[in-house]
Amino acid sequence: METTQQATTQRSSAEARRRELLEAADRVVLRDGPQASMNAIAAEAGITKPILYRHFGDKGGLYRALAKRHTDALLAALRAALDAPAERRERVERTLDTYLAAIEARPQVYRFLMHPADDAAAATAPAAAQSERGFDVGRHSAPLLRRMGEELAEVIAERVDLGPNSEQLARVWGHGIVGMMHAAGDWWLGERPCSRAELVGSLADLLWGRLAAAGDRPGGPGF
């Protein structure tokens, strides 16, 4: 009969192995972006594809694990920027810059998380490759953006007094700001029409209306 210690050891070993596989997947994604395949990831990890499937099920399962890994790190960085001691405008700019710096530093990871493999290439690929490469990224990326929106809404609700119906307004703002950052960042990453600092300043100007005029909640850290 399996002891508690044996179960704990096995669980720790499985978690460590899963982290190793995610790190291998990260390396392939950094190299191949949205074209990263399960075959390439398995080869990078030095295992067969069936073993990779055993850990993640399919590419969608691997995608969700990678998305959580990167989203957790990004949300921690965004919260740190929001909580840093500074004037409100500066914290808004730092938060915008944190997001843009993250996607600029690892554009292939961003594209893997947010964009499907090239549709034309997927359409002409063999059926098995289409199944692996052309999975519905949008179906998986939408929850990622929703999670970011809810997290930001929570921060806004904690720090800013928006008056009556403040919780709903905080959620509107949270999802709206995330949508703005995502759309503007996606466009900027593809075209690079201006510097990151210029984009940050322009987006902060757009936000700097009612947010600037709203009061802080009593006893809170402010925003």
Domain ranges of the chain: 64-216
Tell me if residue 13 falls in helix, strand or coil: helix
What is the model's pTM?
A: 0.76
Q: Which helix (H) or strand (E) holds 215?
A: strand 215-216
CA atoms of 97 and 185, how far apart (whole Å): 10
Residue in the block written with tokens 């843009």:
100
Residue 88 has pLDDT above 80, yes or no: yes
Strand ranges (E), 46-175: 160-161
For residue range 124-170, list pLDDT tens digits in order.
Answer: 444 444 445 444 545 556 778 898 899 889 888 888 888 888 899 99
SS (H, E, C) 154-188: HHHHHHEECCCCHHHHHHHHHHHHHHHHHHHHHHH
Contact by Cβ (8 Å): 91, 97: no
CA atoms of 218 and 211, how far apart (whole Å): 16
Q: In the numeric block, which tokens belong to residue 25?
A: 């997947």
Q: How many helices and strands in the chain, by DSSP H and E? A: 12, 2
| Dihedral-angle region of residue 212 (phi above 0 means left; psi in -120 to 50 means alpha; beta otherwise) | alpha
For residue range 36-78, list pLDDT tens digits in order.
Answer: 889 999 999 999 999 888 888 888 888 888 888 888 888 889 8
Contact by Cβ (8 Å): 191, 169: no
Q: Which residues pair with 55 in a beta bridge?
A: none
Residue 176 has pLDDT above 90, yes or no: yes
pLDDT at residue number 157: 87
pLDDT at residue number 113: 84
CA atoms of 69 and 204, how far apart (whole Å): 28
CA atoms of 65 and 148, how far apart (whole Å): 16
CATH of region 64-216, choose from 3.30.390.50, 3.40.50.1100, 1.10.8.100, 1.10.357.10? 1.10.357.10
DSSP 216: E
